A and B are shown apart, each in its own frame.
Chain A
Amino acid sequence: MTVPGFLKAREVVTIAGALIFIVGVGVAQPRFVEYENLTRIANSTVILALLAAGAALVIITRNIDVSVGSTMALTGIVGGSMLRDGVSIAVVVPVVILAGAGLGAVNGIGVTYGRVPSIVMTLGTLGAYRGISFILTSGHSVENIPAEFKKIAVTKLLGMPVIVWGASALLIGLMLLMSRTRAGRHLYATGDNAAGARLIGVRTNGMVIIAFSASGALAALAALVFLAQIGSVSNQAGMGIEMRAIAAAVIGGVALSGGVGTILGATFGAVFITTATSSLSFIGIPGFWADTVIGAILLLALFADARVRAGLEKRRLSARYKRELGGPPEPPPGDRPAPAALPSEKRIAGGVA
């Protein structure tokens, strides 16, 4: 099977794209690649990278989570109010993470046992969690976060904020969990073929709930990073960031059809988005084009992916004809299916090569 190589290729494209982009901008504007600026970019990537990892986990199980922005705001407001009222950091951090996991679990339970399609479920909680966070603060933002918590954001190790080190360690841990453990493989199996996975004894419902809980917990972590970096949190926090997180995961090669993609890819998708948007001012483009750039990168990635997939399919077919017919492969008549039938067929097959 060519699948493992293919998987790797998906991320290699993203990582190479991000690096080439950084080098390209660096050539045009050397200030961009100074160590200090790169650490600044890494620092501002952390929140999106955490959310993108959560989005990837959920998408790998063939679901989608559009509620993470609201989860982030709600957990941020809970954590911020507790910190403001003098609760110790050692208590607040686990409570906030558990709260995020709980909010995510609500999504997971609704999707599995409630049988609600994931986009409907998470759109519902997107509105509901945002509403609850407004009710909790009656519309005000939470300020006066104690200095000892904000200090975390400015503490540096080897010139890089500790938050970046911590987030990298966490994401690497997640990568290992996904690639080296039984639970990780079960997660992939659930997304690739839920019925088949169930038949071989995977608890598919449990895996989906775990994925949503992890996404919620990562959103809560992102909220803590937000609190430390910004020092306050409003009800508007994280509005619309869920779509950026999903875009990052997709740019990183996570397929919405489930079972394909890695945390590494999603992380680099987030790095790509942040570098692209923060490089705009360096190459003299007004900041308000940021969304256009994200959309263009995402669409380019999708077109590239479609081309790669079509090429692989063609190679697979010609190898098969060679095997069956012997001799040099003739271009078979069925090599290119009628273009009218192709897209819809691919869609129902889930687009998995």
Chain B
Amino acid sequence: MNVAKAVLRGAARWEGALVVILMVEVVVFGALNPRFLDAGRLISSTSDFLYLGIIALPLAIVMMTGGIDISIGSIVSLSAIVTGVTFANGVNIWLAACLGLLAALLAGLANGLAIVATGANPMVITLGTQFLFAGLAVGISGLANVSSFEGISGLPDSFVAVGNGETVGIPNMVLIFVVVAAIFAVVLHGTTFGRQARLIGANPKAAAYSGFAVTRITICAYLLSALGAGIAGVLLTSYLASARADIGANMLMPVLTLVVIGGVSMFGGEGTIVGVIIATFVIGFLQQGLRFAGMSESEVAVANGTALVLVASLRWWTSHTAETLKNQRARRRKPRTPITGSSLQGPEVDVLQSTRTR
């Protein structure tokens, strides 16, 4: 109980910090360039990065189970090119989009089954499938004689409008992100699946011994992350009005940045969807703001990489310092008399006293 509370408090603090950073960003970039604060521009600019959040949210669930999915970028490409090629062969565009999502789900199923069957590190398995899926995407587009530079264009306007249009003044991309985020937040925080997934990451042995369907939950987590990547692939195809086989090639780093800055531990069991949602905006607005402040694309990349490393390092050091301070306070306090018969507390108090007298 206490552990759960401590985790919750820590997470709340982290998300609070993210909100503060977000507000600081808006103020600073607004001061540097007042055009940044234009509400309409601010909202419409989110379409440039929200699709990353759609991939990052389910990836966060995978990472909470202690796994990782390196192949997400390739799944984005795969779903995009399947959508494009089936459309180019005369399939209705909406059915084609569904086939794209289905391809993504199959990819996720392959990931999950391979990880469960071999028991190998998820990073190597998804490294292998990263090549496999990217290769399949390029292969499919090669078989269909698609030019790798132009991709498949000529998509119908109604489909292109999904990624570019607005509904009641709000860009569709934002609406889709809100819906997806709400679904994943409920899945992780409101269902048995979510709680079990988190415990598998925190302590796989305890999870297995308490009778969780570890296999099923693991496979489900990879299915979800593939679904997120598939949705992003179809959405990007609509947003860019073209299906390309290399669309997700460099997507791993920005997506992992969101997940890590969102407070999800690389070792599983820790993190919240809300954190990842806020991180999506923190990083998105950081990049937009830096561009508005006149930085070039490569300078933004350097700033982004530096921020990722610094945040990850600061997280460990702040929690470590907090822990040290807490221990010092506990040591300074007068030790209570141990509860009689408690074999656990006895030696602990002895240790405390001996350090005190030293």
**B212 to A, closest residue via Cβ:** A340
Residues of chain B with a CB closer than 8 A to A115's CB: 313, 316-317, 320
Does B154 make an interface contact (CB < 8 A)? no
Residue of A128, A246, A250, A342 touching B301 (CB-CB under 8 A):
A128
Residues of chain B with a CB closer than 8 A to A306's CB: 117-120
**Residues of A281-309 whose CB lies within 8 A of B:** 286, 288-296, 298-299, 302-303, 305-306
Question: 3 closest A-B pairs (Cβ-Cβ)?
Answer: A292-B135, A295-B132, A291-B135
Q: Which residues of A contact B (CB under 8 A)?
A: 64, 110, 114-117, 119-121, 123-132, 134-135, 139, 239-240, 243, 246-247, 250, 255-257, 286, 288-296, 298-299, 302-303, 305-306, 338-348, 351
Residue of A121, A128, A247 touching B312 (CB-CB under 8 A):
A121
Does B129 make an interface contact (CB < 8 A)? yes
Rounded to whole Å, the gap between the CB of B70 and the closest CB of chain A is: 8
Residue of A130, A243, A288 touching B138 (CB-CB under 8 A):
A288
**A306 to B, closest residue via Cβ:** B118
Does B214 make an interface contact (CB < 8 A)? yes
**Residues of B33-55 whose CB lies within 8 A of A:** none
Rounded to whole Å, the gap between the CB of B271 and the closest CB of chain A is: 13
Does B155 make an interface contact (CB < 8 A)? no
Question: Mostly helix, strand, loop or mixed at chain B's interface?
Answer: helix
Q: Which residues of B contact A (CB under 8 A)?
A: 66, 68, 70, 114-125, 127-136, 138-139, 141-142, 200, 204-205, 207-209, 213-215, 218, 249-250, 252-253, 256-257, 260, 266-267, 296-302, 304-306, 308-309, 312-313, 316-317, 320
A132 vs B114: C-alpha distance when bound (angstroms) = 38
A247 and B128 form a contact (CB under 8 A):
yes
A295 and B130 form a contact (CB under 8 A):
yes
**A132 to B, closest residue via Cβ:** B302
Rounded to whole Å, the gap between the CB of B250 and the closest CB of chain A is: 8
Residue of B120, B131, B215, B252 touching A339 (CB-CB under 8 A):
B215
A286 vs B205: C-alpha distance when bound (angstroms) = 46
Assuming the contacts A135-B296, A295-B129, A348-B205, asked whether A289 and B312 have C-beta atoms less than 8 A apart, the reply is: no
Beyond A114-B309, A289-B135, A295-B133, 13 extra complex contacts between A and B, CB < 8 Å: A119-B256, A123-B252, A123-B305, A124-B305, A124-B309, A243-B127, A256-B123, A289-B138, A295-B129, A298-B127, A302-B124, A338-B208, A343-B214
A131 and B215 form a contact (CB under 8 A):
no
B302 and A135 form a contact (CB under 8 A):
yes
A243 vs B70: C-alpha distance when bound (angstroms) = 10
B214 and A340 form a contact (CB under 8 A):
yes
A132 vs B297: C-alpha distance when bound (angstroms) = 11
A303 vs B125: C-alpha distance when bound (angstroms) = 10
B118 and A110 form a contact (CB under 8 A):
no
A295 and B218 form a contact (CB under 8 A):
no
A110 vs B70: C-alpha distance when bound (angstroms) = 22
A116 and B313 form a contact (CB under 8 A):
yes
B312 and A116 form a contact (CB under 8 A):
yes
Rounded to whole Å, the gap between the CB of A139 and the closest CB of chain B is: 8
A5 vs B82: C-alpha distance when bound (angstroms) = 46
A166 vs B306: C-alpha distance when bound (angstroms) = 36
A87 vs B133: C-alpha distance when bound (angstroms) = 44
Assuming the contacts A292-B136, A344-B205, A344-B208, asked whether A299 and B305 have C-beta atoms less than 8 A apart, the reply is: no
A302 vs B114: C-alpha distance when bound (angstroms) = 9
B313 and A351 form a contact (CB under 8 A):
no
A343 vs B301: C-alpha distance when bound (angstroms) = 37
**A288 to B, closest residue via Cβ:** B142
A15 vs B300: C-alpha distance when bound (angstroms) = 44
Residue of B124, B214, B306 touching A344 (CB-CB under 8 A):
B214
6 A-B pairs with C-beta separation under 8 A = A110-B309, A119-B123, A126-B253, A296-B132, A299-B125, A346-B119
**B249 to A, closest residue via Cβ:** A240
**A133 to B, closest residue via Cβ:** B298
Residues of chain A with a CB closer than 8 A to B266's CB: 117, 119-120
**A121 to B, closest residue via Cβ:** B309
Residue of A132, A256, A292, A339 touching B132 (CB-CB under 8 A):
A292
Residue of A255, A257, A340 touching B215 (CB-CB under 8 A):
A340
B309 and A299 form a contact (CB under 8 A):
no
B127 and A246 form a contact (CB under 8 A):
yes
A278 vs B284: C-alpha distance when bound (angstroms) = 41
A345 and B134 form a contact (CB under 8 A):
no
B298 and A131 form a contact (CB under 8 A):
yes
A247 vs B130: C-alpha distance when bound (angstroms) = 10
A131 and B128 form a contact (CB under 8 A):
no
A149 vs B185: C-alpha distance when bound (angstroms) = 58
Residues of chain A with a CB closer than 8 A to B215's CB: 339-340, 343
B131 and A247 form a contact (CB under 8 A):
yes
Assuming the contacts A130-B301, A289-B139, A291-B135, asked whether A347 and B119 have C-beta atoms less than 8 A apart, the reply is: yes
Residue of B124, B142, B298 touching A256 (CB-CB under 8 A):
B124
A344 vs B197: C-alpha distance when bound (angstroms) = 12
A64 vs B126: C-alpha distance when bound (angstroms) = 14
Rounded to whole Å, the gap between the CB of B356 and the closest CB of chain A is: 26
A347 and B138 form a contact (CB under 8 A):
no
Residue of A64, A126, A299 touching B128 (CB-CB under 8 A):
A299
Residue of A114, A127, A130, A344 touching B218 (CB-CB under 8 A):
A344
Assuming the contacts A120-B309, A292-B135, A302-B128, asked whether A344 and B118 have C-beta atoms less than 8 A apart, the reply is: no
Residue of A290, A293, A339, A347 touching B121 (CB-CB under 8 A):
A347
Rounded to whole Å, the gap between the CB of A308 and the closest CB of chain B is: 11
A64 vs B123: C-alpha distance when bound (angstroms) = 10
B130 and A243 form a contact (CB under 8 A):
yes
Residues of chain B with a CB closer than 8 A to A129's CB: 305
A130 vs B305: C-alpha distance when bound (angstroms) = 10
Residue of A128, A132, A243, A288 touching B139 (CB-CB under 8 A):
A288
A342 vs B119: C-alpha distance when bound (angstroms) = 7
Residues of chain A with a CB closer than 8 A to B214's CB: 340-341, 343-344
Assuming the contacts A117-B312, A288-B142, asked whether A128 and B306 have C-beta atoms less than 8 A apart, the reply is: yes
A129 vs B136: C-alpha distance when bound (angstroms) = 30
A322 vs B194: C-alpha distance when bound (angstroms) = 43
B302 and A128 form a contact (CB under 8 A):
yes
